[in-house]
Amino acid sequence: MTITPVDLFSSMLDFRPDGGVRAGARRMTGGDPGVWQVAAFHVETDADVHADHWEVHPDAEEAVCCLAGGVRLYLRPTAEGGAEEMVRLGAGTAVIVPRGRWHRLELDAPSDLMSITRRPGSGLERRSASRE
């Protein structure tokens, strides 16, 4: 086996239930059951974090980590007519998004982010189509 560096800004790592780790193409949805995906992102604009979409991961919680820069993570209200919750993340901070909770990001500055979750069943929904 040849050991080579993995560029986390262009690929991702899958941590498999058998203890194996595989590098591969980044994807926002899908994946094998029980596999945790770790991916890093350099983002410059709100469009880079699909700020106009809600995202959900029904298979697991998600750790959203801000490695550099700053972002705001919004959680969609769980009750009709409720207000969005906002958590501000600065460099070196993370938040755990509960399993099945719709969320989205907006940037305070260009940022380096890391996401850790299981992706099966993940979904995106345009904000205009959601129940806000």
Instruction: Indicate the DSSP class of residue 130.
Output: S
Structure tokens at 126: 């345009």
> What is the span of the domain harbouring residue 76?
40-129
The total number of structural domains that make up the chain:
1
112: in domain = yes
Q: pLDDT of 20-33, one tens digit each? A: 999 988 877 777 88
Q: pLDDT of 101-131, one tens digit each? A: 999 999 999 999 999 999 888 888 998 754 4
82: in domain = yes
CB–CB of 97/73 below 8 Å? yes
Q: What is the mean pLDDT of residues 34-49?
A: 93
Instruction: List beta partners, residue 36.
Output: 15
CATH number of the domain enclosing 117: 2.60.120.10
Q: What are phi and psi of 54, to 5 degrees?
A: -90, 150
